[in-house]
Structure 1
Amino acid sequence: MHTKLPNILVVDDSKAILIVMKAIFNELEMPEVTTCLSAVTALEKVKPDINFYDAIFTDLNMPEMDGMELIRNLGEIGYCGAIVIISEMDPKIISLAADLAKQHNAHLVGNLTKPVQLNQVNTLLAKIAQLNSHTLVKERPITKAKLISALKNNEITPYYQPKININNNQIQSVEVLARIVSSKDERVILPSRFISLAEQCNLINDITFTLFEKACGDIKQLKEQLGTNLKLSFNLSPCQLDDLNSPNKLLQLLQKHDVLPSDVVLEITEQHALSSYTQLETLNRLRIFGFGISLDDFGTGFTNINQLKQLPFTEAKIDRSFISHIETDKFSQVVVSSLINMTTQEQLELVAEGVERPEELAYLKHYQTNLAIQGFLFSCPKAKAEFISWAQHWIKTAAKTKNS
């Protein structure tokens, strides 16, 4: 089931298309949909509150202002929601439109072909809900006092999720994810409830360094169980790149535990554009020190293909919104295919995150490339002991499958 999105705007100069779209949304139990016959009118509806509409569905070929011009204007006014094109498009047009949208800081996530079908819309709503999960808080955040208490009581705990090579089923790296585990009742608090707060309160470095400290202490045991080539991936907020001393701090933590920078990949989220000279200098120094640098959630933010080529990334992670139902989603297929071709040419590692269904895995295998896959189809993030137990079972099962 998709998460229902209460505020949707549909823009098309055809009254017939608007009637069809309203009927489809009504069938999907989403009757409160705004429609416009003109892009100019649509833009005027968006401007008073740019966060009001969760998604905008727009035609391309319209008089006065066409769809691409509307997308550019939406990006310029800071609209953060998802954008869907209602049009049959050539794959080259899809690829160029997606890249142009990103350059305008707009989130183009898919296209609907005419005649529009209910199942197409339903699939896109699931994708839009995933995009919004990056920015919309689903649960109430904890208090600053509780976060400070968690840090003081050493409750920041690393959870581990594997990235698996699609060709040989080997665990090639592990992402380290933050959890708060209560020292009183072992209740687990997810990062969606405290990471944004930590960034706002300038406590994000404390969380990151705590995770580094604990995970680096675990890496010897993890390598013994999973293999000596194993790498650990950590999330790094773009705001942490504003600290020019952060590469030195991270390096000191690694040296303390006799861990090499080449054993570590730093995942930089794409939600905020990397633009300041300080951020770019920090990024460069991390690569000079030998850290791997991954562009996380690629497709949901502001980094276009050219920036991915020019900046010193070693890996890109395809956002889960482009993996969801990829076997039937033409737009996602074009975007992912383009990214695979580019990363292959640039010799970048590529990870598909959010793989949850066997159909998605089967489709990704068709690319026949050295792709890593990550998602609940294999394992959710787990505490160390539980993760090692899972990994041991996975390795045995993969070996049996290979030898059978």
Structure 2
Amino acid sequence: MSKIVPNILVVDDSRAILIVMEAMLNELGVSETIVTCLSAKEALERVKVDINYFDTIFTDLNMPDMDGMELIRHLGALHYQGAIVIISEMEHKVINLAANLAKQHNAHLIGNITKPIQLSQVSALLTKVAQFNCHTLIREPAISKEELISALENDEITPFYQPKVNVNNNKIESVEVLARIVSNKDGSVISPNRFISLAEQHDLINQISFSLFKKATSDFNNIKTQLGNDFKLAFNLSSIQLDDLNCPNKLLLILEENKLTPSNIIIEITEQHALSSLTQLETLNRLRMHGFGLSLDDFGVGFTNMNQLKSLPFTEIKIDRSLISNIDTDLFSQVVVSSLINITSGEHLDLVAEGVERLEELAYLKHYRRNLAIQGFLFSCPKPKNEFICWAKDWIKADKSPS
């Protein structure tokens, strides 16, 4: 059985802390390999041997010679893609600044553990790490290039739908369209983590995206008619696709064929890869100029810091589920999300919490008392068209029923 966080590195100048952490990680049984280092310099040398080996690094902040923040800066410079967790008591302002500095150094800081270390804290953080790693680790083997080409040729790229529900009024505000490969032979379903990276690698991602866009926009009016409800469709584009300056025109042509307008559509851009080139920024701006909604997806796992949100033309921010998981008890996530909510409120940006799976998380998010959309298995997993329509009809009917 594979471990949820295969290889872990723990860095602390206290031998006692290293012993405690190793014992707890072994008790939780989540890792195949646990390496400990008494200094940040030693840890950095270990990481340099194979930058992709460690999935997670736990590090103290206050260490001699090289402290934890300096280690995080070096990890960013090395393009380390794993999750980073700080082992230290942190004040609200320190958490916020550390999270922002990590982003500016292209590092993924996702939480902190306070001393004395508790097993429950470590367990909760490892759950967040596993959720973060779903962006960077392939849990199932990727299909072959030949299988992907065959799926495209056989028109097996299929839209699945997952709602975003307003936390205050229970209305379905938008529906995200997610790619699946559904076999024409036996109906088996292949999830996107097995083919999206492959598609990007072999320059097939546009074929997948535009096939999905055509099918879902063709279905849109029928879905709206059956539900009697007004909502938007959300589609994912990678930053790689923004390098195509003709991308907005291609999307507009498909919308025109289906008698839709850009105002019906939200384009979700993942935050996993930095938006940096002038071409990407121009394409982003042109999409917004044409009237598309723009959503920054998976905020919290990538490199966009909060100040950049004020300059980029996004209309929606989606908080990654690694920041939502256990937010009811996680101070790090509470501070980062509170800061994000303050900024988005001032900038009139819509906000979506991804990956809500527990009632406690939902109850905590309701305390923010602002329009916040919720997306996650607590409400609905991604479903094919007919199953989604059945779910949505039941949801709307229950919402209209007297309490």
Shared topology, TM-score over 0.5? yes
CA distance in 1, matches of 2:386, 2:41: 57
Aligned to 1:155: 156
Contact residue 55 and residue 81 of structure 1 kept, 8 A? yes
Equivalent in the alignment of 2:82: 81
Change (3 A) 1:191 1:11: same
Q: d(CA) in 1 for partners of 2:152 and 2:32?
A: 45
Q: Give the Å deviation of 1:307.
A: 1.5
Which position in structure 1 is the counterpart of 2:20? 20
Q: How many angstroms apart in 1 are the aligned matches of 2:331 and 2:86? A: 12
Contact 1:198–1:204 (CA under 8 A) maintained in structure 2 = yes
Instruction: Tell me how far 1:228 sits from its aligned partner.
Output: 5.0
Give the aligned partner of residue 10 of structure 1.
Answer: 10
Deviation at 1:2? 11
Q: Is the 1:8–1:56 contact (alpha carbons within 8 Å) kept by the matching residues of 2?
A: yes
Q: How many pairs does the alignment contain?
A: 402
Cα deviation, residue 362, structure 1:
0.9
Q: Which amino acid is the alignment partner of residue 296 of structure 2?
A: L
Q: 2 CA distance for matches of 1:32 and 1:142? A: 27
> Please, which moves more after superposition, 22-31 or 48-57?
22-31
Match of 2:104 in 1: 103
Shift of 1:25: 1.4
- Are 2:3 and 2:32, in contact at CA under 8 Å, matched by a contact in 1? no
2:293 touches 2:316 (CA, 8 Å); kept in 1? Answer: yes
Shift of 1:138: 1.1
Looking at structure 1, the residues matched to 188 and 176 of structure 2 have their Cα atoms a distance apart, in angstroms, of 21
Q: Which amino acid aligns with 2:103?
A: K
Task: Report the counterpart of residue 61 of structure 1 in structure 2.
Answer: 62
Deviates more, 1:137-146 or 1:233-242: 137-146
Code of the aligned partner of 1:220: N
Whole-Å separation in 1 of the counterparts to 2:16 and 2:183:
56
Q: Which amino acid aligns with 2:14?
A: S
TM superposition shift of 1:201: 1.3
- Quote how far apart the aligned CAs of 1:32 are: 3.6
Q: Map residues 142-291 of structure 1 onto 2, 5 A cutoff.
A: 142-227=143-228, 229-291=230-292
Q: Where does structure 1 lack aligned partners over 5 or more consecutive residues?
A: none
TM-score normalized by the length of structure 2: 0.97
Find the aligned partners of 2:268 and 2:109 in 1 and give their Cα distance: 23
- Amino acid in structure 1 at the alignment position of 2:252: L
**One-letter amino acid of the counterpart of residue 366, structure 2:** K
Identity of aligned residues (%): 69
Stretch deviating more after TM superposition (78-87 or 142-151)? 142-151
Cα pair 1:270 1:297 within 8 Å, conserved: yes
Instruction: Provide the residue aligned with 1:137 in structure 2.
Output: 138
Contact 1:3 1:129 (C-alpha < 8 Å) held by counterparts: no
Superposed displacement of residue 227, structure 1: 4.3
Cα distance between partner residues in 1 of 2:147 and 2:35 = 41
Q: Give the SS at the match of 2:210.
A: helix
Contact (CA 8 Å) 1:2, 1:129: kept in 2 or not? no
Retained in 2: the 8 A contact 1:236–1:269? yes
- What secondary structure does 1:123 align onto? helix
d(CA) in 2 for partners of 1:34 and 1:325? 26
Deviation at 1:226, TM superposition (A): 3.5
Separation (CA, whole Å) in 1 of partners of 2:228 and 2:47: 52
Per-residue CA deviation, residues 114-168 of structure 1 (Å, 9 max, x unaligned), is 0000010011111111111101111111121221121121111111000000000
| Aligned-partner Cα distance in 2 for 1:4–1:215 | 34
Name which of structure 1's ranges 103-112 and 131-140 shifts more when overlaid on structure 2.
131-140
* Structure 2: gaps (5+ residues): none
- 1:169-209 deviation per Cα after TM superposition (whole angstroms, max 9, x unaligned): 01010000111111111111111111111111111111111
Structure 1 residues 191 and 31: CA distance shift in structure 2, 3 A: closer
Contact (CA 8 Å) 2:7, 2:32: kept in 1 or not? Answer: no
The 8 Å contact of residues 57 and 84 in structure 1, kept in 2 or not, is answered as: yes
Query: Given the alignment of the two structures, is residue 319 of structure 1 paired with residue 320 of structure 2, yes or no?
Result: yes
Relative distance call for 1:121 and 1:147 in structure 2 (3 A) is same
